[in-house]
Amino acid sequence: MSFRRVLPLARRVIQQLLADRRTLALILIVPLVVLTVAGILVRLEPDEIRLGVVMEDAGAALPTGGEPVNLGERLTDSLDTLADNLSVQRLSADEARQQIEDSKLDAIITLPADFTAQTIQNRAVTLDVEYEGSNPQVARLFDTLLNRAAVQAIASLSAVSTGSTPDVTVQATYLYGSAEFDQLDYLAPAFIGLFVFMFVFILTSVAFLRERVAGTLERLQATPIRQIEIIVGYMCGFALFALVQALIILLFTIYGLSVHYMGSLLVVFIVELLLALMAVNLGVFFSTFARNEFQVVQFIPLVVVTQVFLSGALWAVEDMPGWLQPIAWLMPLTHANYALRDVMIKGFDLIEVGPYVLALVGFAAAFVLLSSQTIRRQAVG
């Protein structure tokens, strides 16, 4: 191998890259943006778990005499000290019902008037808990915390203690989902949205760039056809493949991975299709800024990876820093993820996820207009 022949070739490549400011920016700046976002989110404190306690326990006297005890109060006090990220609120039954329906609570525990009396009589603790159910991991964590708190609450009562760990039964109901839901069921809506968005965006970006490189777009622009008609035409063509891909991803997720769901698959597919159409238009828009396929690939970290971080797929938008939340809601994938989770986990219909659907329609329309203004009339050099 002769370095006299290798070095001129290497120098030529370096000179070409240095002359391409767009590529340099994508290489040097985009990784810093992505790493900054990742660093902020990874250092977020654990999500706050919100528990509502409906305290109706009247307490009871011990068979051995002495002062009456209230195990409901002891249980609530124990829960307060078990975990730093556990927030315990004492609420009325109506307040708790309203807050869990608004997803402001993760669970409600109801302690009836005879809770202490029944516990002493049966020498066991029975807890009635209703989970919001959007995140099955939270329900499993609550089961552990409630068992620990119940054991602490009655451990010092000689009338209840039998020398062994007290029997604790958690009778759980779910506002959304069910006990069968697992972590995959929670993540599946985000996976569906992510894969539809990512693959459609890459397909459209590369395909539209090739149309420009081949001169097809330039020849079209020489005809009376308007720019927006070109964009809509390409969008309709790419949409057929996006529709097929969205359908395949949905069917495989549901039937291949045996993911549980509550709402209508038709509504899920409608959200998927709108996300795919938005991704088509976004791909067309960004491809107009690329001169070659290498630059298209470099857009992927900026467009796809940042949306994965900020869309609520891995971290809830509500838990992000305040200044980052508006940016997250400017991401189309955020609206798709929330809509898909509401349908698949909560069983919402199309009307109930209407704001998210309208947002996706708005994003798609906006990128149609932007793309029509940015397509080039000259051939790619």
Domain residues of the chain, as ranges?
49-174, 182-374
pLDDT at 2: 62
pLDDT at 90: 92
Question: Residue 52: which residues within 8 A CB-CB, separation 6 or more?
Answer: 89, 90, 91, 95, 96, 99, 100, 105, 107, 108, 109
* Residues 301, 286 contacting (CB under 8 angstroms): no
β-sheet bridge partners, residue 124:
167
* Residues 274, 354 contacting (CB under 8 angstroms): no
At 69, give phi and psi (nearest 5°).
-120, 160
Query: What does CATH list as the number for 49-174?
Result: 3.40.1710.10
pTM over 0.85: no
* Residues 47, 84 contacting (CB under 8 angstroms): no
Mean pLDDT of successive 10-residue stretches along the chain, which has 381 residues: 66 69 67 73 71 89 74 87 84 92 90 87 85 83 84 64 64 86 87 89 83 76 77 81 87 90 93 90 83 76 84 84 90 94 92 95 88 60 43
pLDDT at 379: 38
pLDDT at 236: 82
Angle between helices 354-374 and 227-251 (to 10 degrees): 140
